Amino acid sequence: MVLRTMTMLAAVATAIALAAPARADEQGYLADLQAHGVPVLPVAGISGEERVTNIGYAVCAQLLRGAKPEDIASRMGILSPFGPDIVAAAQDQLCLNTP
């Protein structure tokens, strides 16, 4: 029984070690935004790409805290018309640990 358990643990550890690491795809996120016409404009010395990427990661943080995607999208301020697209792109490309 102990040998069987040890063999199983070794197999799981090997599978984890060899699995490709999950990574956020910032370029994919930016491409999704561009495809949906989301403006990627600089603000106060911050590049547009950096700004919307930061917004995307903020979306991920809110999702991890249990916020609903539609609620996040409705609170985008000046970007509200694009809120659903921003949230969807973030979920698809950036938010690796969200449902």
Give pLDDT tens digits for 42-93.
999 999 999 999 999 999 999 999 999 999 999 988 788 999 999 999 999 9
Question: Is position 35 within any domain?
Answer: yes
For residue 48, the model assigns a pLDDT of 94
- Cα 83-66-79 angle, rounded to 5 deg: 15
Mean pLDDT, rounded, for 20-31: 80
Question: Is position 55 within any domain?
Answer: yes
User: Residue 69 is part of which domain span?
Assistant: 24-93
Could you identify the residue written with the tokens 């699995």?
Answer: 19
Count how many domains the chain has.
1
Question: Is position 88 within any domain?
Answer: yes
**In this structure, what token pair is assigned to residue 2?**
């102990």
Question: Is position 6 within any domain?
Answer: no
**In this structure, what token pair is assigned to residue 79?**
């970007």
What's the one-letter identity of residue 46?
Answer: I
For residue 96, the model assigns a pLDDT of 87
Q: How many other C-beta atoms are found inside a 10 Å radius of the C-beta of residue 82? A: 18
Cβ atoms of 28 and 90 within 8 Å: the answer is no
Question: Is position 44 within any domain?
Answer: yes
For residue 92, the model assigns a pLDDT of 94
Question: Is position 11 within any domain?
Answer: no
